[in-house]
Amino acid sequence: MNTENHSQTAAFLWSIADLLRGDFKQSQYGRIILPFTLLRRMECVLAPNKDAVVREFYAQEGRPDTVRDMYMMRAAGGQQFFNASPLTLGTLSDTQTAADLMSYVQAFSKDAREIFEHFHFEDFVQQLETANLLYQVVQRFAATDLSPEVISNFGMGIIFEELIRKFAESSNETAGEHFTPRDIVHLTTSLVITDQDHKLAPNSIVTIYDPTAGTGGFLSEGDEYIQSISEKVSVSLHGQELNPESYAICKADMLIKGQDVTSIKLGNTLSNDQLADKRFDFMLSNPPFGVEWKKVQKQITDEHSQKGFDGRFGPGLPRVSDGSLLFLLHLVSKMRDPRDGGSRIGIILNGSPLFTGGAGSGESEIRRYLLQNDLVEAIVALPTDMFYNTGIATYVWILSNHKAAARQGKVQLIDGSQHFAKMRKSLGSKRSYITEDQISELVRLYGSFEHSAQSKIFPIDAFGYRRITVERPLRLNFQASAERIAKVLEEKAIQKLDSVAQQQLVAVLQTMGTSVLHRNRDQFSKVLKKNLTAHGVSLSAPELKALLNALSERDPEADICMFKGHPEADAGLRDNENVPLGESVHDYFQREVIPHVPDAWIDESKTDAQDGEVGIVGFEIPFNRHFYVFQPPRPLAEIDSDLKACTDRIKQMIEGLSA
């Protein structure tokens, strides 16, 4: 069945919401249509063995539930769920529809029954009953054929996504929080699972994990991809999702596909990892872009400070306004030991994790950890306008702790920003998509691991630098001028003196010769102290410091201010230089700094916390800089003629108005 037909089915299911107009808010439509769609799909999947299951239910009456369930699961013909009720949507009575419907739903096996609880299905059934709409809605769904022969599991996934997107748009929610467009899912999955034959030997069991599972798109696609390229491989799917409705759809999808749903968890992955002891072969994730983690800040900060590298967040914590790097660290913590075959990760991030945060920041320390441990294999820039809820630039990071020999110590950057086709009709912010051929081309660029205009290969150190602090000496002149004396009275330490002491101080300063300019601090201090003593004025060290501060101004011609035999640094002239990693800090300084500011020096007290050397190590990945192509400006004559044509046109328009 093609995508066109899936869209038609979704449009038909969506049209059932017309019945709800007036009695329900638009934001509630999805919470009614989605569980009914799931219910009808599950009914269609179970239809061939329904009679056998009902017979078994009566035959096993009186036996323990666990035994009874086992027999019914068997009768359901290999499905992971069953329904023991003789009712169907088509046979519910028109007089007691709500009671019949709820007894039908209660007859599902436990995992399937829970799905409807997450949708608060019973509440909506009662509301529909009160509005006299329930029987009509049930009839519409009963007449829709959602059987696996007509719509594949993949097709059903697309229908669910289409419905969620429509409901999200109609209620101003963000659909992109719930699922990732299928073209992006397909590309990311292909990149992660390509060249992994050692994992896909016949009779092996492969595990896939998504910590932000949404409606399960990545898990389904990973499963399908592996089944399509290998034989006799069992795929075990694991995921966790925060939104109860997305979780319910994901769980239903897994049940219908015959997957074990005990590994699909509900909850916040960052604060409550429910698969804490698990390690996985492949991990795929599209965490929310730029979402703050303030709500779970305490749990995460505690794990970072108390467990360190025994927890998930040892390398550092990003700023609270963007938690995407926390998901990346979470995935890294779930990698298998390289001796057991290691793991591959594919995660979609916005531009921020590439470069936000200078040397020593949490973000930089996380990048440093990932790069210095040789975990980053490749980063692929995607086109803009690829997602339903944002048009920003995004990147697929591919990580591995089992790199091929040729890739060790290196990172590949791939510019896929021009690999797109325009959509006939945009879906939210999604105006572009990646075609099958373009996906193959990007996977080929990645697999061939060669340097080209679109694929660049760098050693890890290329992304590192040392931030050194460059100091310049403080040079001040001093003068007891009227303006500077006025500033003295603004100093906090001087304001604490009583008014008599303040007047006395001003009188002393006025005797010092207002026009005399001193260019040496030590000499001026001596003159100042001598005058103060002569007039019987005694100041504490903080008061004297405040006085010197008010009477001084920066002066590049003045002598250097000395402190304990060393030049004092001028905080206002302090600067930082980023020295490429691997280059001598002192060589760089002599070559790049001293020719411009001969009196500068390096503050050698600022050393890196990890290696103790001068300068704080930072890492960033300036992706766009490596693919920048200079566009020469147009010739001036051409620009002039364009401007002339433009001004002539404006003149004509003005003449036309005044005619």
Residues 41 and 156: beta-carbon distance below 8 Å: yes
Question: Is residue 362 pLDDT above 90, yes or no?
Answer: yes
* C-alpha–C-alpha distance, residues 444 and 446, integer Å: 5
List pLDDT tens digits, range 419-463: 888 888 777 777 888 999 999 999 999 999 999 999 999 999 999
* Burial class of residue 382, CB neighbours in 10 A (0-12, 13-18, 19+): buried
Question: Is residue 175 pLDDT above 50, yes or no?
Answer: no
List pLDDT tens digits, range 283-297: 999 998 878 899 999
For residue 566, list its beta bridge partners: 563
pLDDT band at 75 (very low <50, low <70, confident <90, very high): confident
pLDDT band at 576 (very low <50, low <70, confident <90, very high): very high
pLDDT band at 141 (very low <50, low <70, confident <90, very high): very high
| Pairing verdict, β 344-350 and 282-285 | parallel
Closest CA to 413 of 395, 400, 401: 395
pLDDT at 324: 92
* C-alpha–C-alpha distance, residues 44 and 40, integer Å: 6
List pLDDT tens digits, range 604-616: 999 999 999 999 9
Does the domain spanning 176-463 belong to CATH 3.30.365.10? no
Q: State the average pLDDT over residues 6-22.
A: 86
pLDDT at 444: 95
3-state SS class at 339: helix
Which CB contacts under 8 angstroms, 24+ apart, belong to 11-17?
Answer: 12/144, 13/37, 13/144, 13/159, 13/163, 14/163, 14/166, 16/137, 16/140, 16/141
pLDDT at 4: 56
pLDDT at 171: 61
Cβ-proximal residues to 197 (8 Å cutoff; 6+ apart), any chain:
none
Question: Is residue 386 pLDDT above 70, yes or no?
Answer: yes
pLDDT at 379: 97
pLDDT at 174: 53
Q: What is the mean pLDDT of the chain?
A: 90
pLDDT at 177: 55
pLDDT at 176: 47
More confident position, 280 or 162 = 280
The H or E element spanning position 657 is helix 636-658
Question: Is residue 1 pLDDT above 60, yes or no?
Answer: no
Q: How many CB atoms sit inside 10 A of residue 568's CB?
A: 16
Q: State the average pLDDT over residues 205-220.
A: 92
Backbone angles phi, psi at 576, to 5 degrees: -120, 145
List pLDDT tens digits, range 96-125: 999 999 999 999 999 899 999 998 999 999
Q: State the average pLDDT over residues 326-347.
A: 95
Q: State the average pLDDT over residues 32-47.
A: 93
Q: State the average pLDDT over residues 570-598.
A: 94
Cβ-proximal residues to 221 (8 Å cutoff; 6+ apart), any chain:
182, 185, 186, 189, 284
pLDDT band at 170 (very low <50, low <70, confident <90, very high): low
What percent of the chain has pLDDT above 90? 58
pLDDT at 26: 82
Distances 145 to 45, 140, 202, 538 between C-alpha atoms, Å = 11, 10, 36, 97
Closest CA to 551 of 527, 587, 573: 527
* C-alpha–C-alpha distance, residues 454 and 412, integer Å: 10
Q: Any idea where the domains of the chain sit in the sequence?
A: 3-171, 176-463, 476-567
Query: Positive or negative, the Cα torsion across 74, 76, 80, 84?
Result: negative
What percent of the chain has pLDDT above 70? 97
| Pairing verdict, β 234-241 and 205-210 | parallel
